Amino acid sequence: MSGDWIKMRTDLLTDPRVVRISSALKADRLRTVGALHAVWSLFDTHSADGTLEGYTYDVIDDLIGWPGFCKALEKVGWVTTTGESVVLPRFEEHNGRTAKRRAMENDRKKRGRVSADDADEDSAGDADTDADKKRAREEKRREEREKRAKTPKRRTASKRCPPDFVVTDEMRAWAKAEVPGVNVELETAALRDYEFKDAKTDWVGTWRNWLRRASAGSPRRPAPRPADTGFSEYSDPSSDIFAGAI
């Protein structure tokens, strides 16, 4: 009398005792499991301690419609009799309020573990996703840095050769092949000291043109303007105007 359900194992159909009962009664195991359900339900409904007072094996066999069933149960240790009652051994282990409470508690714990495992898997999945996103962002930033490093920096236009201008090995090889008679170091130093009229950005091209003119013997630059002394051409003693005045 402990509720409207009973505890039955999922592997009961293959239990060796079920096999023995079925063999003894020459019956199908499914019928045996059904009869067990009927007997255990009878005890659960009308007994608080696993004893059915006033019941005999014949009475129970008649109730379930299977003569000899209780004798077969007795041979495997699932029922006993005192002559005036039928007893279900280990009743409190499998039936009754205490057993059902334990079964329900175990079921709740099992469901809780499954839920916790699912939550852990979800958390792990979220962590993996976050890690993948982080790696993707880092990879993108790295690619952008490499792209910027490979992109030539655009120089600001200047009339003088930039201080960081460097003659590379490739440029020296070009000079050796195209202007072999030119002193590269001397001409590069001259280029660094010169101020152009117009601002330039392509200093490699300017350097090459400078060396080509040097190789051809052409003036590489206009003649420097004379220093301003504060006198006009009329004060030059070598001028015709000054000589005529003497």
pLDDT tens per residue, range 146-159? 777 666 566 689 99
Question: What integer best gives the mean pLDDT of the chain?
Answer: 81
pLDDT tens digit string along 115-125? Answer: 666 666 666 66
Does residue 240 have a pLDDT over 60?
A: no
Evaluate whether 124 touches 130 at the Cβ level (below 8 Å).
no
| Domain range annotation of the chain | 12-94, 158-216
Number of Cβ atoms within 10 Å of the Cβ of 184: 17
**Which of 77, 81, 60, 56 minimizes the C-alpha distance to 69?**
60
pLDDT for 99 equals 53
Structure tokens at 151: 């992109």
pLDDT tens digit string along 133-145? Answer: 888 889 888 888 8
User: In this structure, which CATH number among 1.10.3470, 3.40.50, 1.10.10, 3.40.190 belongs to the domain 12-94?
Assistant: 1.10.10
What is the arithmetic mean of pLDDT over 51-74? 95
pLDDT tens digit string along 91-107? Answer: 877 676 655 565 567 66
Residue 208, amino acid: R
Beta carbons within 8 Å of 157's beta carbon, 6+ residues apart: 199, 200, 201
**Which of 64, 14, 59 minimizes the C-alpha distance to 40?**
64
Q: Which residue has the higher pLDDT, 44 or 34?
A: 34
Instruction: Give CA–CA dist 240/177, Å, rounded.
Output: 51
State pTM to two decimals: 0.42
Query: How remote is the C-alpha of 186 from its chain's centroid?
Result: 60
Q: Where are the alpha helices (DSSP H) in the chain?
A: 16-25, 29-46, 57-64, 69-75, 91-94, 96-150, 169-178, 184-193, 203-216, 240-244
What is the arithmetic mean of pLDDT over 60-85? 95
pLDDT for 131 equals 83
Instruction: Give CA–CA dist 49/214, Å, rounded.
Output: 120
pLDDT for 245 equals 38
Number of Cβ atoms within 10 Å of the Cβ of 6: 18
